[in-house]
Homo-oligomer: A and B are copies of this chain.
Amino acid sequence: MTTQVQALYDFSGEPNTTEMSITCGEVLTLINTEIGEGWWEGRKANGETGLFPAAYVRKLAPEESLPTKVAPAAPPRYDQANDDWGDQQFSAGDSNFQRGTSHEEGWDDDWDDDTYSEIGPVPQQSKAQYDQKLTPLPGMPISDYNHQNEDTASNYGSSVGTVRKSKFAPSSKVSGESYLLATLNVEVADSEKVYIVQEEDRYEWWPITQPYNVTVASPKKESKFKGIKSFIAYQLTPSFNNIQVSRRYKHFDWLHERLQEKFTLIPIPPLPDKQISGRYDEQLIERRRVQLQEFVDWMCRHPVLSKCEVWQHFLTCTDEKRWKAGKRQAERDALLGLNYCISIVVPEKALLQSQVDHVTEQCHMFINSMDTSVKAVSSMCVAHTKKLQTAYRADCQKVGEAFCSLAASLSLDEGSLASTSKLTTAVKMTGSAYIDIGRMYGDQPTYDWEPLGDKFHLYKGVVGGFPDVLATHKSAVQKKRECERLTAENKMEIAQLNEVLRRTDVISYALLAEINHFKAERTKDLNATMQKFLRQQVSFYKRVVEKLETTLKYYDE
């Protein structure tokens, strides 16, 4: 059934985009009303197709009257970035993927909207229209996904769905069961394999052979659709190729979800909180950049995470088509949760359960304590930053103002004595110095307390991820014990039990390797962090000393 629409106003489409210009009175055939964000797709009489604002046309019916003369504002431009990255096609094509409500909100309600909704001109449309969501188009065929055969893919489909939900329900037992009970049997390419090796008395992830880093550059405010919608894009440059990619927070958020689904034995570093503290937009954005840099650094230094496919894709993809393909592939990844363990190659040596128990108990106790103290440092940094920026700054300025007012009084009765006017100047300089020091107190957190807080934000996330990791491991061990019981009751074959035991060991090896990685990493990292912090503190107090010493010179000896 074909629907005709008539343009009510002129609309100039942006050249070289999917937009199309329409002229008031023109009649078009409606192709698609599910574009979202207030856009429809249509075809002109001359065959040209493209997008136009839905509010600019009306569906044709004989009783309709002529258009009014004043054109309403265009809807927010259909997000170019979404378009570039193929969200439309992805939504249309992924019938297996049911987006949760919270996911969908996270997607659209990203910071860019929060922070920059005022920057573009205020739309004349209602908020409801403005907030209109993308709706997935059902029934389009799955294409270019040939990582495994159709059977396996559909076999995993349900487990993938479960894992996605598990973002909000802790355990990934279900997804792990097929691995643990040896019903999952996939050939993993050698390039995908992850090795655990023994180093003295420790088990470790095979170390990174080609270390690299990625800089997250000062974000750019970008605007789309003639400034109606603007957002922040962070510029990422990996050292291994020096090619810059532009990523928005929602892309990080997407990546983060993929990583959390996939690595249930590796705590994923956190992204910045949405409610981050900051006094003004620029500062806020910079804080987010720093916290994203912390996230990226942690990823780069992790032997497993640093080389995983979705991360590499995120870091390097500049091409729209490749992005789409990679995105789909990541979202269909079957080796999620404990199933990922099928990629792990461990030493040919059975682990002693008592030893594993000892390490996990130790880790449990440590993580509990660390969780409290890391939170304490983190909130202390936030509180102290605020104090410095408000109370300390103001206190120091009051000191300065008192001296300045004294100088002003003294200046009223200087007379002819040189020493009198010299004193006035000196007291005035003292006042200014304290006002400056107040400013220094206020600005200082940017160099010490905030970066420290950002670092501990990271630790809060990583440490906070460990209880789930430990719980995942624990339930695997419980499953193993169940299998041992079943075998004792002759309800399970010895051969299958042996495979369960081997696979439980792989899970334990992975946990041990991750515990060791975290220990080594935090030791090196906190050592550097604390030194950097203290050096900034030293530098601050030295500058105060310098300021006061300069002031002293204004006085008569």
Chain B residues lying within 8 Å of A399, measured Cβ to Cβ, are: 380, 384
Q: Is A352 an interface residue (CB 8 A)?
A: no
* A546 → chain B closest CB, angstroms: 9
Q: Is A531 an interface residue (CB 8 A)?
A: yes
Known A373-B408, A380-B398; 10 more pairs at CB < 8 Å: A362-B412, A362-B413, A373-B406, A376-B402, A380-B402, A383-B398, A392-B392, A427-B530, A527-B556, A534-B548
Looking at A363, A372, A406, A556, which has the most chain B CB atoms within 10 Å of its CB? A406
* A96 → chain B closest CB, angstroms: 41
Give the nearest-CB partner of A404 in chain B.
Answer: B373
Cβ < 8 Å to B, chain A residues 248-286: none
Q: Is A419 an interface residue (CB 8 A)?
A: yes
Are A373 and B409 neighbours in the complex by a CB distance under 8 Å?
A: yes
Are A376 and B406 neighbours in the complex by a CB distance under 8 Å?
A: yes
Cβ < 8 Å to B, chain A residues 414-431: 415-417, 419-420, 423, 426-427, 430
Are A419 and B366 neighbours in the complex by a CB distance under 8 Å?
A: no
Are B201 and A416 neighbours in the complex by a CB distance under 8 Å?
A: yes
Interface stretch among A116-124, A471-479, A489-497, A518-526?
Answer: A518-526
Q: Is A243 an interface residue (CB 8 A)?
A: no
Chain B residues lying within 8 Å of A240, measured Cβ to Cβ, are: none
Chain A 365-390, CB-CB to B under 8 Å as 1, else 0, gives 11001101110110010011001000
Q: Is A360 an interface residue (CB 8 A)?
A: no
Cβ < 8 Å to B, chain A residues 497-531: 519-520, 523-524, 526-527, 530-531
Q: With A373-B405, A523-B417, A523-B420 in contact, do A537 and B548 touch (Cβ < 8 Å)?
A: yes
Q: Is A549 an interface residue (CB 8 A)?
A: yes
Q: Bound complex: CA of A177 vs CA of B201, how far in Å?
A: 102
Q: Is A535 an interface residue (CB 8 A)?
A: yes
Can you list 24 contacts pairing A with B, beta carbon distance less than 8 Å? Answer: A201-B416, A362-B412, A365-B412, A366-B412, A369-B408, A369-B409, A369-B412, A370-B409, A370-B412, A373-B402, A374-B409, A376-B401, A384-B398, A410-B526, A413-B519, A417-B523, A420-B523, A423-B526, A427-B526, A430-B530, A430-B534, A534-B548, A541-B548, A545-B545
Are B555 and A530 neighbours in the complex by a CB distance under 8 Å?
A: yes
Which residue of B369, B527, B556 contacts A426 across the interface (Cβ within 8 Å)?
Answer: B527
Are B531 and A555 neighbours in the complex by a CB distance under 8 Å?
A: yes
Closest 8 A-B residue pairs measured CB to CB? A366-B413, A380-B402, A373-B405, A369-B409, A373-B409, A370-B409, A373-B406, A366-B412
* A215 → chain B closest CB, angstroms: 24
Q: Bound complex: CA of A416 vs CA of B199, how far in Å?
A: 13
Are A538 and B545 neighbours in the complex by a CB distance under 8 Å?
A: yes
Chain B residues lying within 8 Å of A308, measured Cβ to Cβ, are: none
Q: Is A544 an interface residue (CB 8 A)?
A: yes
* A526 → chain B closest CB, angstroms: 6
Are A538 and B549 neighbours in the complex by a CB distance under 8 Å?
A: yes
Chain B residues lying within 8 Å of A530, measured Cβ to Cβ, are: 426-427, 430, 555
Chain B residues lying within 8 Å of A383, measured Cβ to Cβ, are: 398
Majority secondary structure of chain A interface residues (helix, strand, loop or mixed): helix
Q: Is A321 an interface residue (CB 8 A)?
A: no
The count of identical subunits is: 2
Chain B residues lying within 8 Å of A423, measured Cβ to Cβ, are: 523, 526-527
Give the nearest-CB partner of A365 in chain B.
Answer: B412
Chain B residues lying within 8 Å of A373, measured Cβ to Cβ, are: 402, 405-406, 408-409
Q: Bound complex: CA of A538 vs CA of B548, how far in Å?
A: 6
Q: Is A552 an interface residue (CB 8 A)?
A: yes
Are B362 and A377 neighbours in the complex by a CB distance under 8 Å?
A: no
* A325 → chain B closest CB, angstroms: 42
Which residue of B403, B417, B534, B544 contacts A552 across the interface (Cβ within 8 Å)?
Answer: B534
Give the nearest-CB partner of A557 in chain B.
Answer: B531
Q: Bound complex: CA of A538 vs CA of B392, how far in Å?
A: 18
Q: Bound complex: CA of A527 vs CA of B548, how far in Å?
A: 15
* A280 → chain B closest CB, angstroms: 24
Which residue of B377, B395, B520, B523 contacts A403 across the interface (Cβ within 8 Å)?
Answer: B377
Give the nearest-CB partner of A396 in chain B.
Answer: B384
Q: Is A88 an interface residue (CB 8 A)?
A: no
Chain B residues lying within 8 Å of A412, measured Cβ to Cβ, are: 362, 365-366, 369-370
Q: Is A391 an interface residue (CB 8 A)?
A: yes
Q: Bound complex: CA of A538 vs CA of B519, how far in Å?
A: 41
Q: With A387-B395, A534-B548, A538-B545 in contact, do A527 and B419 touch (Cβ < 8 Å)?
A: yes
Are B523 and A552 neighbours in the complex by a CB distance under 8 Å?
A: no
Are B376 and A405 neighbours in the complex by a CB distance under 8 Å?
A: yes
Q: Bound complex: CA of A549 vs CA of B541, how far in Å?
A: 11
Chain B residues lying within 8 Å of A432, measured Cβ to Cβ, are: none
